[in-house]
Structure 1
Amino acid sequence: MSDAAPSPPSAVLGEHGTGGPLRARTAPSSRRPSGGHGRRGGGGRSLAGYGFVAPAVVFFVAFFVLPVLYAIYLSLRGARLTGGGALGIRRETWVGLANYRDALTDPQLLASLGRMLAIGVIAVPVTLGAALLFALLLDVPRVRAVRFSRTAIFLPYAVPGVVASLLWGFLYLPRTSPFGFTGIGFLDEPALFGSVANIAVWSGVGFNMIVLFTALQSVPREVYEAARIDGCGEWQIALRIKIPLVVPALALTGLFSLIGALQIYGEPQTLRPLTSSISSTWVPLMKVYRDAFTTDDIGGAAATSVVLALGSLLLSLLVLKAAQRRTRSSS
């Protein structure tokens, strides 16, 4: 006779105690029922998400999509003289792509694009180089006065563009400059390109430095410590580790600087009363302003704006594509 304790009935009998096949009693399922309650909850969350996104979508459509569509509509129309009489009647009619043809063949627009390109060639590399240099210097271990230096470098970005242009404009003039610059035509070509680019660099270095410095701070410190243990100096760490790791942030700041160069307007417009070297069409946006509000050529101004927007979009896509290739090759 066995001394083992008898098995409980639930382990021997079937589910209803009828002696069926042995089955372990399973725990109740923890899955949610597939009824309508779960679907209603998910639908509520979806509606809440749409509600949070709706204000941004409304502002995007109202202040970006609709103005772009309206500018395209205006670019296809123009004022023409119609009717009889000695002078005719000036009416707005459909002109198709005539405004685009006139804009792309306008020598004033081509000359302004060349001046804008000259300013961008100076401003963009200098801005990125100075921002990267300051970010690397502030990221060096045991460097002093990091907060003060970071604030001092960023402070010019907080100065409005018109105020910065007036400040530098009076510094460029020999009669008002406290440094007594004489014999140097800062507001005359070809030095004028460097003078305008200097204002853009002075205002833009701080923002780009903050972006790059934040990217450097996100890199784990263990990476740098391992490199120092292997005998790398700070210069080698900066060239071989830090700069390759911040390439995405560098591409972002480069894109911002490029867009800023393509949209340059405030600096030359503010400096224009101080010199006779800056005309009303010195850069493309100044020409757009003149055509729209001085010569009353709304269609031509809209066509020029659309051409500039498409050019900016194309250059931005090229920069992003090059940055993605650089990131993939480095990884």
Structure 2
Amino acid sequence: MTTNSGVSTAVRATELRPLPRARNGRRRNTFAPYVLLSPALLLYAVFLLIPIGYAIYLSFQGLRLVAGGAFGKRQQVFVGFDNYHTTLADPEFYSGFGRLAIYGLIAVPVTLGLALLFALLIDHPKTRAKSFSRTAIFIPYAVPGVVASLLWGFMYLPSTSPFSYISKTMGGGSIPFLNLPLLFPSVANIAIWGGVGFNMIIIYTALRAVPADIYESARIDGASEWQIALRIKIPLVAPALVLTGLFSLIGTLQVYGEPTTLSPMTADITQTWVPLMKIYRDAFTRDDLPLASAASVLLALGIVVVSVLLLLATQRRAFGGNS
């Protein structure tokens, strides 16, 4: 029979047993994690780091006409910060951000508000058909942005719009969805329709992670479902709200597909309606990649700054950290 002291000695001997050594006598050093990570790191470098570095390099280049042939040719030369100065002095660049701000003031609050409302309604204990409701609200997110823009574009056109048809049958006229002042809500509606489901799933997942005992304690104390939603559920899912708000804000700063798809349907959406449309025009219509690269770098820096400021502003409230 093994005594307790014998067992303790055996356990200590097992714990102090040296790591297995390779045949050459050196301690085994495995490279398996690095081998498994190498494909992801390679893709990250090829499709993200190298393009970013090349865009920064191009932003310091310029196109200059040099002699050669009947008409000469353009050659890239180093111009320093000239492209950045040109971009920052371009009024169209700031006008695009102004229109983007109006678009964001409509799209972001409405998207987050509807996502939170739907998440709370689905999480309500008396709600029926929760699985069907989640799927139905999420389905628009699976529709590609170009397809959604075309779908809503035909619903906006006076000749094919069911809303304009109903308005005409009631004695009114066509509804100018694609003209000011309804243009901004019409474009924002496409992003809202497609983005509510994704944000709702994030908020609903955060709600399901809250222990049910908290709700039961509140109900025992006499709290109504409305009070539980306002005073318990919403504060507890604040990190999810910050996350979805950050996603929505970044998506707003990068908006491109919706106005570009709708632009052939209306004259009010120009080639520089938002910053990314101006960048596309400079790069592929005017063939000025250095200027487009400088604008892209400025836009990327702006997105990083806005994201950091949002996280700093909400850190204490949402995550309990020091701001």
CA separation of 1:230/1:35 partners in 2, compared to 1, >3 Å: closer, same or farther? closer
2:264 to 261, 273, 292: 273
3-state SS of the aligned residue for 1:282? coil
Determine the C-alpha separation between the residues in 2 that align with 1:116 and 1:168: 20
1:316 Cα deviation after fit: 1.0
SS of structure 2 residue aligned to 1:91? strand
Q: Which of these residues, 15, 28, 39, is aligned with residue 55 of structure 1?
A: 39
Which residue does 1:175 correspond to in 2?
A: 159
Residue 263 (1) aligns with residue 263 (2): no
1:79 aligns to what SS in structure 2?
strand
Match of 1:146? Answer: 130
- The separation in 2 between residues aligned to 1:175 and 1:295, in whole angstroms, is 34
Asked if structure 1 preserves the Cα contact closer than 8 Å seen for 2:239 and 2:319, the reply is no
Q: 1:152 to 1:296 in 2, by over 3 A?
A: same
Letter in 1 for 2:80: G
**C-alpha distance in 2 between matches for 1:330 and 1:85:** 65
Counterpart code for 1:274: M
Tell me the CA shift for residue 88 of structure 1.
Answer: 5.3
- Residue identity over aligned pairs, in percent, reads 58
* 43 and 148 in structure 1: CA distance in 2 versus 1, 3 angstrom threshold: same
Q: Which moved more, 1:107-116 or 1:79-88?
A: 79-88
In structure 1, what is the equivalent of residue 114 of structure 2? 130
2:189 corresponds to 1:198: yes
Aligned residues: 306
- Given the alignment, which residue of 288, 295, 308 partners 1:297? 288
CA distance in 2, matches of 1:240, 1:161: 36
Distance 2:130 2:26 in 1: 53
Contact 1:244 1:330 (8 Å CA) reproduced: no
Among 13, 24, 27, the residue aligned to 2:9: 27
Contact 1:131/1:208 (CA < 8 Å) preserved in 2?
yes
In 2, the alpha carbon distance for the partners of 1:281 and 1:196 equals 15
Letter in 2 for 1:141: P
Which amino acid is the alignment partner of residue 62 of structure 1? V
Aligned-residue offset at 1:183: 3.9
The partner residue of 1:121 within 98, 105, 130 is 105
Deviation of residue 80 (structure 1)? Answer: 1.2
Letter in 2 for 1:172: Y
Query: Using the alignment, how far apart are the partners of 2:19 and 2:201 within structure 1?
Result: 52
CA distance in 2, matches of 1:290, 1:255: 27
> Which structure has the larger Rg over C-alpha atoms?
1
Partner of 2:309: 318
Aligned mates of 1:204, 1:263 — CA distance in 2: 14
How high is the TM-score relative to the length of structure 1? 0.87
Q: Displacement, 1:82?
A: 3.5
Paired with 1:234 and 1:330, the residues of 2 have a C-alpha distance of 29
Deviation at 1:318, TM superposition (A): 1.3
1:239 corresponds to: 230
Q: Measure the CA separation in 1 of the matches of 2:158 and 2:231.
A: 45
Q: Deviations over 1:42-96 (max 9, x none)?
A: 622xx22222222221111111111000000011101012459996542211111
After TM superposition, the structure 1 = structure 2 runs for residues 214-229 of structure 1, keeping only pairs within 5 Å, are 214-229=205-220
**Superposition deviation, residue 41 in structure 1:** 7.1
> 2:52 aligned with 1:68, yes or no?
yes
Distance 2:192 2:198 in 1: 11
CA-CA distance at 1:321 after TM superposition: 1.8
- Contact 2:100–2:274 (Cα < 8 Å) also in 1: yes
Tell me by how many angstroms 1:107 deviates: 0.8
Q: Which amino acid aligns with 1:242?
A: K
Instruction: State the secondary structure of the residue aligned to 1:30.
Output: helix
> Aligned equivalents of 2:27 and 2:160: distance in 1?
70
Following the alignment from structure 2 to structure 1, what is the Cα–Cα distance between the partners of residues 301 and 222? 49
AA aligned to 1:196 is: V
When the two chains are superposed, the root-mean-square deviation of aligned CA atoms in Å is: 2.2
CA distance in 2 between partners of 1:151 and 1:69 (Å): 41
Distance 2:144 2:68 in 1: 52
Read off the aligned partner of 1:238 and give its amino acid letter.
A
Structure 2 unmatched runs, 5+: 168-172
CA shift in 2, pair 1:215/1:42, >3 Å? farther
Separation in structure 2 between the aligned mates of residue 42 and residue 225 of structure 1, nearest angstrom: 54
Q: 1:102 aligns with which of 83, 86, 98?
A: 86
